[in-house]
Amino acid sequence: MPEIDPSAFIHPLAAVIGHLFIGKKVMVSPFASVRGDEGQPIFIGDESNVQDGVVIHGLVTEHNGCLIEKNRVEVEGKTYSVYIGNRVSLAHQVQIHGPARVDDDAFIGMKTLVFNATVGKNCVIEPCCILMGVHVRDGRYVPAGTVLKDQKKADNLPAITDDYPFKDLNKGVVQVNTSLAEGYNEKSGSQGLN
């Protein structure tokens, strides 16, 4: 069964099942699907948001009682199918398919796929990207529509600078969604499906 912090809000039209952890003030929006069943566990850190139509799932992580390590990611000595850090925004229709890791303060743009990949801290992945088999270093951005499957290209991604127009985008998105989670919980007197 999912372990969901009482301050999180899971919309009644979202599907949240299996072995997973959802942190404080997380907002899971309508039609999102977070499935910690085939690939498990899934971790979603504090103040992150899982917007409308997002799918979080993973490749099978256990077979006949044996762990399948290649289908897991390690974070601070623990392994997960999918790890989403703190204050991460997963915008509308994003797919995060494990093994995958998205570190703190990252923004993943609409209709992006992250599969068998990691995204570092303070990154912006603009809309409609595909990231497969790569690691995006901290503080980088991926331009809209990029298909990124080569680590050399990932190593040469542009750094986020003060003149990058989406530099502070995630801060506002996180603020709005944590406020929504608090407001919905206050209004309903519960945590949605909690």
- Contact between 178 and 25 (Cβ < 8 Å): yes
Instruction: Please name which of 40, 14, 18 lies closest in space to residue 27, comparing C-alpha atoms.
Output: 14
Please give the C-alpha separations between residue 29 and each of 46, 97, 117, in angstroms, as whole numbers: 15, 18, 24
Please give the C-alpha separations between residue 52 and each of 31, 70, 92, in angstroms, as whole numbers: 6, 29, 5
The SS3 call for residue 165 is coil
- Angle value at C-alpha 177, between 114 and 51, nearest 5 degrees: 35
Is 38 an active-site residue?
yes
What's the helix, strand, coil split of the chain in %, to 5? Answer: 15, 35, 50
Name residue, tokens 């801290």: 121
Name residue, tokens 């915008």: 91
Which of 3, 38, 62, 69 is an active site residue? 38
Instruction: Please name which of 106, 8, 11, 113 lies closest in space to residue 55, comparing C-alpha atoms.
Output: 113
> Which residue numbers are catalytic?
38
